[in-house]
Structure 1
């Protein structure tokens, strides 16, 4: 009996560790796949956010310029190495921190399911912002490096330049904008996905079916989560991009955008961002769910 109790105790300690490791691995794979899909759209979005309307009056003008002058790989996929690694790490942090926080809240508090989702989503986004800021700093600099008089650069020279000019802290330029975006966006992202997924499951129960989501339901829930995330935090994302490409403070970036373009300046590139959000986030959540069930 004593031996059996020790075995059970050991298994109970290993289970949370195994769940966390599974979330990390599955989140990494899902994030990398989603980033490959969304990256060309993200390049256009960053250029619209950081360049004035006199350079790119419309989204199509930016796409046309990038394709004609830089091609597909050097234009739309410039600097993708850093974001793939960053997205893998970001989604690993997002899913493991979200699930671990949700489990703790469920075990130690009397929070409702919605409160658990909100608190866990905010916590997960906050954690991810610390990882994401340096990655997006390099990404944004590479995405605009071909414009104007800038010469094309690579990941390591860009990092070295940042360290030389601003030290280690320079890698977290734009952290305040990223923190605001990710903490609020984490709520919108996870809440939309979880609530839609549960809604579809409830329809199953009403119809007498099993409690497993169909493929299209997971894809719709994931795509909708991407729409909710980007639509809710886009002004903060614009500020973050401006801060990282021009080394400005949060207030200075907001003032410059307002002075040059007014409120509409905070939403330049929103259209193509919403277009990219649907397939990318559908793939992220579907991949994570599929791997988790294997």
Structure 2
């Protein structure tokens, strides 16, 4: 686990994050699958499977599949922030800790970096989720502004950190991903750096995403617009709403509703399309990351 330049690693992470735009339609389908639970059909359409989501969005026009793809820039920013912190945190660990507990050292650095970056980028993730799920915006370029205004008017500044607490648990997803990536990269024996990097990237995300998917689902549901009236209203029409009309009142209520309405399988709704998207994306991501970092050094 070599120590790298924080700034160069950050730039490499930002460049590699652009790969998420290629498979953006799958990200959009994933979000719609996760929030579609059948509880509020008048506000959030219910989809039986990912194919039904795709058909519905596709029927709105081919461009609608990429509506909101500009928000994938937030993924690049998130990775840039994470890798900068990741490489910086390595410098603060005692040399004896790294030598005597190499595996714990790797996971500790990844976890600390994930917790810190989660606080910084949480507002971006809230905006991204709400913008992609918007159903009544006039143009996709206005999604960003509209999502921001709605969040501010209804939730205030706290709204930009919705899902933050559960997001701290989800930070372990990123920590486990980086730990497994470093582990596989060091232990996969192949003459090709390309295949070793891509396999390490894909396998690391496959394992981490499967384990933490229920946490991902809960976080996304908490980050969507919670006052049902706002979902179908434009930002300029937003007013005060009663808490009784909230989709989910909080973490406990969200977990309880998923269990009551869908049981254990409800916590894995959308896992299939998530893995189809994230495994190849993460494999390509780390290939671009490593290649970009080499170019910068």
1:151 CA displacement: 4.5
**Alignment of 1:63 onto 2:54:** yes
Matched residue, 1:12: none
**Alignment of 1:197 onto 2:185:** yes
Task: Please list the CA deviations of residues 62-84 of structure 1 after superposition, one character each: whole Å capped at 9, or x if unmatched.
Answer: 1111111x22332x322222331
Matched residue, 2:77: 89
Task: Please list the CA deviations of residues 162-214 of structure 1 after superposition, one character each: whole Å capped at 9, or x if unmatched.
Answer: 112222221111111222112x11232012111111012xx36xxxx7xxx52
Task: Please list the CA deviations of residues 102-124 of structure 1 after superposition, one character each: whole Å capped at 9, or x if unmatched.
Answer: 33325363542211111011112
**Alpha carbons of structure 1 residues 133 and 118: separation in structure 2 relative to 1, 3 Å:** same
Partners of 1:83 and 1:135 within 8 A in 2? no
Alignment of 1:100-115 (within 5 A): 100-105=88-93, 107=95, 109=97, 110-115=99-104
Matched residue, 1:181: 170
Matched residue, 1:130: 119
Matched residue, 1:4: none
Partners of 1:173 and 1:244 within 8 A in 2? yes
1:73 equivalent among 53, 63, 71: 63
Matched residue, 2:204: 225
Alignment of 1:1-294 (within 5 A): 19-31=5-17, 33-52=18-37, 55-68=46-59, 70-74=60-64, 76-84=65-73, 86-105=74-93, 107=95, 109=97, 110-146=99-135, 150-151=136-137, 154-182=143-171, 184-200=172-188, 203=189, 214-247=193-226, 248=248, 249-294=250-295
Larger Rg: 1
Partners of 2:137 and 2:143 within 8 A in 1? no
1:61 CA displacement: 1.1
Gaps of 5+ in 2: 227-247
Partners of 2:15 and 2:292 within 8 A in 1? no
**Alpha carbons of structure 1 residues 179 and 77: separation in structure 2 relative to 1, 3 Å:** farther
Name the structure with the higher helix share. 1
Q: Distance in 2 between matches of 1:123 and 1:34?
A: 25
Q: TM-score, normalised by structure 1?
A: 0.82
Q: TM-score, normalised by structure 2?
A: 0.81
Aligned length: 261
1:284 CA displacement: 1.6
1:255 CA displacement: 1.3
Partners of 2:202 and 2:282 within 8 A in 1? yes
